[in-house]
Structure 1
Amino acid sequence: MLVDRARMFLLSLPLVPLVFFLLLLAGCGGGGGDPGAVSPPPAPPGATTGSLQVVVNSLPAGTNATVRVTGPNNFAQDVISTQTLNNLAPGSYSVAAASVSVGNATYTPAPATQSVVVTAGATAMATVAYASTALTLALQDIGPTFTSPTFVTAPPGDDRLFVLERRGVIRIVRNGATLTQPWLDISANVFAGGEGGLLSMAFDPNFASNGYFYIYYTDPFLNIVVERYGSSPTPNVADPTSALTILRIPHPQFQNHFGGLVAFGPDGFLYAATGDGGGAGDPFGNAQNLTSLLGKMLRVDVRSATVAQPYTIPATNPYVNGAGRRAEIWAYGLRNPWRFAFDGEQLYTADVGQDAREEVNIAAASQGGLNYGWDIMEGTACFGATTCDRTGLTLPAFEYEHGANEVNGCSITGGYVYRGTAIPELAGRYFYSDYCRGYIKSFFATGAGIVEQRDWGLGAAGQVVSFGRDGAGELYVVSAGGRVFRIVRGTVP
């Protein structure tokens, strides 16, 4: 009966007082205590998505951040500056930021990762603040002293480091220790006088399955020799009886300008860079002579090498049809190319100058038939003349003059473009040195020219003979004093 009377009373009230009265009744229920967690405000009518504003602070003007946002329904989006992401499904989103390199500084994000909840009809916020620190490098001695080392390398992904000694021995460094037995010893076949010796090594792209590797050296008759060897069933020892000669190039007159690098290009072909035959000023005119293999970049296909036919000529070589020109030639006009390197689809070739200039040539790896100018040009200057015909010549992308008393150097040592993972700020920087000065320098090559030239202040290596790379893509420096150093991140003072 009392319930019926209350119901009749409520129904007799006007609408607005009725609503107010019901709210009062609801507020009086429960009798105090903790009200519990505060619920988020209700979404506007019909709202099913929300927004996330990513705020990026403290990067130099024009510098892109590296931020990735991931969330429900496999959502993923990269953010390079302050931005609001709309129409997001409600849920938890991860905001992960990476360091950014600008010139000589590294900008580190804080926080590096954070989680943000997006609710329907609302805008959440995530702030990424960058702070800069100067990037420095150091040289880490890998340990032993070698006998006139000339080169270091490793197959991709391999934890061993292969160190070449000029006398004709290849040694293995593993886990910081040099193995007692050499990987290969061909010292009986090597002329190590002058600028000769065992100068470089390249692993076949299919080394993991076929065990082949290639070496570049000078023999007792001063010939330039490129040979293929194979691995043996014995771990960490090659098969010394497996030699297959790929190239043997006469170099009879002088004991300098042998060139010295063999490497595989991105096309799978084998490249070798030879010197002009030695002497001052290319006295025999080899570099511009297309019937000579000296002063050239050579390219051959060794995938089906046999004793009867150690190589074939790639169909896209510029002089494949002969006409009095050697079909092995890929490029010419080189004086003494002391190291070249592929970086993706680009080829960097460092060429030692005569009296005044050192140069680095940069070209598309697919572009054959280039004439780099020697002995018409030394760098961008005419050689031995006040004027010269530059028609058809490819001038260097980078050069430096020796300067008074060779203050800048006298003999370039080419290196590599950094593509390792230990120091991501260095990505894309080409490293080089000079034998007379021993510095470690780098630059960044862009479509607009050479930028970010830097001397890293690393003089501990002394006279730098070569650079090298390990199986992870990290860079090494080979010293004439017998030490091998890894380039590592330095300590910020």
Structure 2
Amino acid sequence: MLTSHLRTLLAALALLLLPACGSDDDQPSTPPGGSGALTVNLAGLPAGLPAAVRISGPASYAKTIGSGQTLSGLAPGNYTVSADSILSGNLSWSAATPVQNATVAADSNAVVNISYSGSTLALAVREVANVSGAVFLTAPSGDTRQFIVERSGRILVMQDGALLGTPFLDIRNRVASVGEGGLLSMAFHPDYARNGWFFIYFTDAANNIVVERHSVSSANRNLAEPSAVLEIIRIPHPGATNHYGGLVSFGPDGMLYLATGDGGGAGDPQGNAQNLNSLLGKMLRLDVADSRGAQPYVIPPSNPFVGQSGRRAEIWASGLRNPWRYAFDGDRLYIADVGQARREEVDIAGVKQAGLNYGWNTMEGTLCYNAAICNKNGLTLPAFEYDHGNNNVNGCSITGGFVYRGKAIAELAGRYFYSDYCGGYLKSFLYKDDGVTEQASWAIADIDAIQSFGQDGDGELYLIAAAGKVYRIVRAPKA
């Protein structure tokens, strides 16, 4: 069995080995070792818009290029040139012939010409389920089922488009759904296929935030084992019945993350978000690899406040108001933090950036919330924000989503999607070179009160409305 220290070292090494994002030209996986050449010519793309052309060939040769060029030193043989569709705003650029083959001979130059044309990419939504109280959707990686979390305390399984009659889990007798509470999310362990562990985030009758580990039944993979329950953490949330946060998730480092609200009430009256001795208004990071009754979690040694008096070592980040939904994407973390009365924000940071303070309740977005103590020193301001506007014309409560990594709409790769409970829209942006770009609004059917996104085992995205309808985001048919 690995020690906690060794697990942490391995997790840190895994982060260091994460591939860099946004590289225009990747190095070949194997030196080609030949005298042939291949020229790839690109035409039809707007100036400055990089392509995504993949070349593969003999001896496991693999390279991705973003512009036309000649590849030299190639071994003789057959090469495959694949041009992915790319997106700029709402315009999709596709190659007339997405896949071409070229034969490279010694001391000669083969040529492949790729011609692009643009068209407007339109998205639509397709209703896939109607579950009263639906609040989240997820699945283990690669699993064809969808697991729908019901706020009252059940988790339902949807298989081949139909809801199974027996819930995967039913803990309604232990869940209190008063105010913004209830069973709010679930997360499958990265090694779920082997250990069968999944984790849930809910509020109990005493108004506490509770995270538990459960196990799937060995006899029926569509049912949880009712007796296999381990409480991971219980966080007191006295007083108000709002601002619980609500998401539990595993990061790329294998650690368990949970984002808690500030305890509720307008303006964080208890000052929890800036209090490093409180677990409210925080992002927490726990090691649950060897969870057991006597020790449900271990503090990762790389957590920023380990060994510091008066500061809880579970804390990874602070200064959050109500981070209802957040998402990991490779080496980045996107936190959608619900604002007070003026601004909604998305905080974006590297997954290894520990101890960040996102500013609440000193700041609301980039605005001073508490003018008496409005000192921005040491605060991490949002990467993206929007103002509510008059009569909440732009929205009132951000609903954070995910970065698209599915296969059905390949042009959307890397776009972060979000909505708003009052706005009812679907929007996205691309985070590149430490900035937000290519903001886009997608014309979809009117959906009232979008309260959550979901992501299935193939990376496809879903919208969940407060009325309980669950929609899959799809490519709109061509007119």
TM-score, length of structure 1 as denominator length:
0.85
Q: Any stretches of 5+ residues in structure 1 without a counterpart? A: 1-47
Residue of structure 2 aligned with 1:485, choices 447, 471, 476 = 471
Q: Which has the higher contact order (CA 8 A, sep 6+)?
A: 2
Local SS of the residue matching 2:147: strand
- Please say if residues 110 and 128 of structure 1, whose CA atoms lie closer than 8 Å, have aligned partners that are also in contact: yes
Deviating more after overlay: 370-379 vs 54-63: 54-63
Map 1:374-453 to 2 at 5 A: 374-385=360-371, 388-453=374-439
- Please say if residues 232 and 239 of structure 1, whose CA atoms lie closer than 8 Å, have aligned partners that are also in contact: yes
Structure 1: distance between partners of 2:361 and 2:337: 12
- Please say if residues 410 and 434 of structure 1, whose CA atoms lie closer than 8 Å, have aligned partners that are also in contact: yes
- Please say if residues 139 and 460 of structure 1, whose CA atoms lie closer than 8 Å, have aligned partners that are also in contact: no
Deviating more after overlay: 280-289 vs 441-450: 441-450
Map 1:159-170 to 2 at 5 A: 159-170=144-155
Local SS of the residue matching 2:243: coil
Gap change, CA 1:316 and 1:68, over 3 Å in 2:
closer
Deviation at 1:145, TM superposition (A): 1.3
Structure 1: distance between partners of 2:433 and 2:294: 45
Q: Percent identity?
A: 56
Structure 2: distance between partners of 1:75 and 1:327: 46
Gap change, CA 1:130 and 1:221, over 3 Å in 2:
same
Structure 2: distance between partners of 1:326 and 1:81: 49
Residue 245 (1) aligns with residue 220 (2): no
Deviation at 1:232, TM superposition (A): 1.2
Structure 2: distance between partners of 1:431 and 1:169: 27
- Please say if residues 89 and 440 of structure 2, whose CA atoms lie closer than 8 Å, have aligned partners that are also in contact: no
Map 1:89-488 to 2 at 5 A: 94-116=80-102, 125-142=111-128, 144-235=129-220, 236-385=222-371, 388-488=374-474
Deviation at 1:260, TM superposition (A): 0.6
Structure 2: distance between partners of 1:481 and 1:231: 29
- Please say if residues 124 and 474 of structure 2, whose CA atoms lie closer than 8 Å, have aligned partners that are also in contact: yes
Q: Which amino acid aligns with 2:348?
A: I
Deviations along 1:252-295, one digit per CA (max 9) or x if unpaired, are 20111111111111111111111111111111111111111111
**Match of residue 56 from structure 1:** 42
**Match of residue 9 from structure 1:** none
Gap change, CA 1:442 and 1:386, over 3 Å in 2:
farther
- Please say if residues 169 and 187 of structure 1, whose CA atoms lie closer than 8 Å, have aligned partners that are also in contact: yes
Deviation at 1:121, TM superposition (A): 7.5
Structure 2: distance between partners of 1:304 and 1:120: 56
Deviations along 1:351-373, one digit per CA (max 9) or x if unpaired, are 11111111111111111111111
Q: Any stretches of 5+ residues in structure 2 without a counterpart? A: 1-33
Structure 2: distance between partners of 1:61 and 1:372: 37
Deviations along 1:215-253, one digit per CA (max 9) or x if unpaired, are 000001111111111111331110122221111111120
Q: Which amino acid aligns with 2:208?
A: N
Deviations along 1:52-99, one digit per CA (max 9) or x if unpaired, are 544322111123333445567776665544445567677765544332
Structure 2: distance between partners of 1:335 and 1:296: 8
RMSD value, Cα = 2.2
- Please say if residues 249 and 293 of structure 1, whose CA atoms lie closer than 8 Å, have aligned partners that are also in contact: yes
**Match of residue 27 from structure 2:** none
Deviations along 1:29-61, one digit per CA (max 9) or x if unpaired, are xxxxxxxxxxxxxxxxxxx97765443221111
- Please say if residues 89 and 439 of structure 2, whose CA atoms lie closer than 8 Å, have aligned partners that are also in contact: no
Whose radius of gyration is greater, 1 or 2?
1
Deviations along 1:400-453, one digit per CA (max 9) or x if unpaired, are 110000000111111111111111111111111110111111111122421111
Q: Which amino acid aligns with 1:161?
A: Q
Structure 2: distance between partners of 1:293 and 1:491: 47
Deviation at 1:126, TM superposition (A): 3.5
- Please say if residues 88 and 438 of structure 2, whose CA atoms lie closer than 8 Å, have aligned partners that are also in contact: no
- Please say if residues 377 and 383 of structure 1, whose CA atoms lie closer than 8 Å, have aligned partners that are also in contact: yes
Deviations along 1:278-327, one digit per CA (max 9) or x if unpaired, are 11111111111111111111111111111121111110111110401111
Local SS of the residue matching 1:337: coil
Gap change, CA 1:412 and 1:180, over 3 Å in 2:
same
Structure 1: distance between partners of 2:56 and 2:219: 49
Gap change, CA 1:289 and 1:84, over 3 Å in 2:
closer
Gap change, CA 1:210 and 1:454, over 3 Å in 2:
same
Deviation at 1:490, TM superposition (A): 1.3
